[in-house]
Amino acid sequence: MKLILVCVILPLIFVSAYGQFCQQKSYHLMTLTPTNWFKAFAQCRSFDMTLASVSSKEENDRIVQLIESEGHSDKRFWTSGTKLGNDGAYYWMGTGKSLGFTNWASGQPDKYDWGTNEPEACIEFMSKNWDSKWNDARCSAENYHFICEKTHLSYLSPIHFNIETNIDSMSRANQSKVIQREKSNTTF
């Protein structure tokens, strides 16, 4: 009983009373060597990341903007989307969640790959020529780049926000005292 109180209840009280945790994603385009979906997944994991999972239009737009701003609009990229081992229903391997938001190209997913007898079971992010939409592709296809994502967890302190919003109205001497006090109080 004491263990539950210390490990579960006290952190919840601390977070709700003193701040909150925030989760953000950063995306990394891997464009040096095209590869298949399996190798792309392993490469991202080797960098302590996962293949990208897209859960909203905003995330999708951020990835499109990144691809275009880095000059890779002519390339195709693997995401973590797949239906492998899931009875034909697509999900994000990176998060384990089913697709909520989708951005399929017209007629996709079509499960067809021009006579190779290998199912199209992995989701690729197509180039600008395809209006930056998604396509189902053969997971073993070796000609795709990939997008890794890193999830960052940060703690937002309400004290920190109050200091930032009110610090402009203080004198320089008082600003230094507040900042020094804040540094000494936020040791974890």
Residues 18-38, mean pLDDT to the nearest whole number:
90
CA 91 to CA 81: how far, in whole Å?
A: 6
| Cα-based distances in Å from 78 to 12, 81, 89, 107, 157 | 37, 8, 18, 19, 37
Domain spans, the chain: 22-152, 157-188
Hunting for tokens 């073993």 — which residue is that? 140
Average pLDDT across the chain, whole number: 80
H-helix or E-strand spanning residue 20 = strand 20-35
Name the architecture of domain 22-152. Roll (3.10)
Whether the predicted pLDDT of 146 surpasses 60? yes
DSSP 8-state class, residue 119: -
Peptide bond into 109 cis (omega under 30): yes
Percentage of the chain with pLDDT > 90? 57
Q: What pLDDT, on a 0 to 100 scale, did the predictor assign at position 17?
A: 52
pLDDT in tens, 97-106: 999 999 999 9
pLDDT grade for 166, boundaries at 50, 70 and 90: very low
pLDDT grade for 156, boundaries at 50, 70 and 90: confident
pTM of the model: 0.71
Q: What pLDDT, on a 0 to 100 scale, did the predictor assign at position 134?
A: 97
pLDDT in tens, 113-140: 677 888 899 999 997 777 889 999 999 9
